[in-house]
Amino acid sequence: MATVLSVHDRRILTAVNSGASSLSFVGSGFIVLCYSLFKELRKFSFKLVFYLSLSDMLCSFFNMVGDPSKGFFCYAQGYITHFFCVASFLWTTTIAFTLHRTVVRHKTDVEDLEAMFHLYVWGTSLVMTVIRSIGNDHTHLGAWCWAQTGRTGKAIHFITFYVPLWGAILYNGFTYFQVIRMLNNATRMAFGMSDHAYQFDSRTDTKALNRWGYYPLILIGSWAFGTINRIHDFIKPGHKIFWLSFLDIGTAALMGLFNSIAYGLNASVRRAIYERLELFWPERLQRWFPNSSR
């Protein structure tokens, strides 16, 4: 017997989607604004974070404006959302690649690869979006614009989104593992040296870089329930599980917020914000943050 989401359930899921997407839009938009305002942040490494945040911001925006009652607009919105969401997790792979090439392979030519990064991210996103349109069922609409209703459409949607997504997760995980292992080896070597200042710098760098190991968990946490929901929907079409859909919608829509916190709110951004605020409210900041150092 088919289990269909009620009107009340769909309203709840729509509200969750809008609320979570709004948080992601604000978070990623804040990083875009910081990059635009603070010239000292316009380094190549943070430029990649800017492109990631820009993709998240546009993905979140179009994720909020979908209306399944409007056919053409809904499909257009669905394709645009697909495009920028794919671009988002592809930009995370360029960040991982840059770190690996710089830290592990000791290359300094990453800035020369920016054009290739754009071709790779935007080109792949466009190809995946075009392929996705092949199996789209234009006779029915799901609960939201991004969903596919036909069996062929569901399979193509999975192939053009979730397969490259989990490929990106595996690549990022393997890359960050190599980077962290390299840094840990450097730290162990530093302990055997007599230069205590070098030891301190190595421990500080390792502490700052070890958090990169959690970056792949952002994509896993954002899309694990969505992947499970897509597989369940393909195996048992018409049997919707409300709580699974709730977690699917909620975690996926928060990806932009998670990325903005993990990738964007680093020490450089916090320092730039603090310096600007100090120009306007120096005494108040000293009272609030008496031990703050720039």
Q: What is the mean pLDDT of residues 128-135?
A: 83
Q: Is residue 211 part of a domain?
A: yes
Tell me the C-alpha to C-alpha distance, in Å, between residue 27 and each of 22, 156, 178, 257. 9, 31, 29, 5
Distance between CA 224 and CA 108 in Å, rounded? 35
Q: Is residue 282 part of a domain?
A: no
More confident residue, 237 or 31: 31
Burial 118-145 (b: 16+ CB within 10 A, else e): eebbbeebeebbeebeebbeeeebbbbb
Q: Is residue 288 part of a domain?
A: no
Percent of the chain with pLDDT over 90: 41
Distance between CA 75 and CA 83 in Å, rounded? 12
> Which residues lie across from 245 on neighbouring strands?
none
pLDDT in the model for residue 200: 42
pLDDT in the model for residue 57: 96
- Is the pLDDT at 244 greater than 50, yes or no? yes
Q: Is residue 44 part of a domain?
A: yes
Instruction: State the amino acid at position 287 in one-letter form.
Output: R
Q: What is the mean pLDDT of residues 168-174?
A: 94
Distance between CA 225 and CA 219 in Å, rounded? 11
Q: Is residue 214 part of a domain?
A: yes
Q: What is the mean pLDDT of residues 43-62?
A: 93
- Is the pLDDT at 292 greater than 70, yes or no? no
For 178, residues 6+ apart whose C-beta sits below 8 A from its C-beta are: 100, 104
pTM: 0.84
Q: Is residue 212 part of a domain?
A: yes
- What is the tens place of the pLDDT at every residue in 251-281? 999 999 999 988 887 778 878 877 776 665 5
**Confidence band for 291, pLDDT divided at 50, 70 and 90:** low
- Is the pLDDT at 231 greater than 90, yes or no? yes
- Identify the domain containing residue 35 by its residue range: 7-273
Distance between CA 176 and CA 212 in Å, rounded? 6
Question: Domain total for the chain?
Answer: 1
Q: Is residue 285 part of a domain?
A: no
Q: Which residue has the tokens 């994720």?
A: 63
More confident residue, 246 or 272: 246
Q: What is the mean pLDDT of residues 88-108?
A: 92
What is the rounded average pLDDT for all residues in the chain?
81
Work out whether the CA dihedral 20, 24, 29, 30 comes out positive or negative.
positive
Per-residue DSSP letter, 3? B
Burial 250-281 (b: 16+ CB within 10 A, else e): bbbbbbbbbbbebbbebebbebbeeeeebeee
- What is the tens place of the pLDDT at every residue in 9-33? 888 988 898 899 999 999 999 999 9
**Confidence band for 98, pLDDT divided at 50, 70 and 90:** very high
- Is the pLDDT at 79 greater than 50, yes or no? yes
Closest CA to 254 of 2, 14, 4, 18: 18
Distance between CA 184 and CA 8 in Å, rounded? 52
Q: Is residue 100 part of a domain?
A: yes
- Is the pLDDT at 288 greater than 90, yes or no? no
- CATH code, domain with 219: 1.20.1070.10
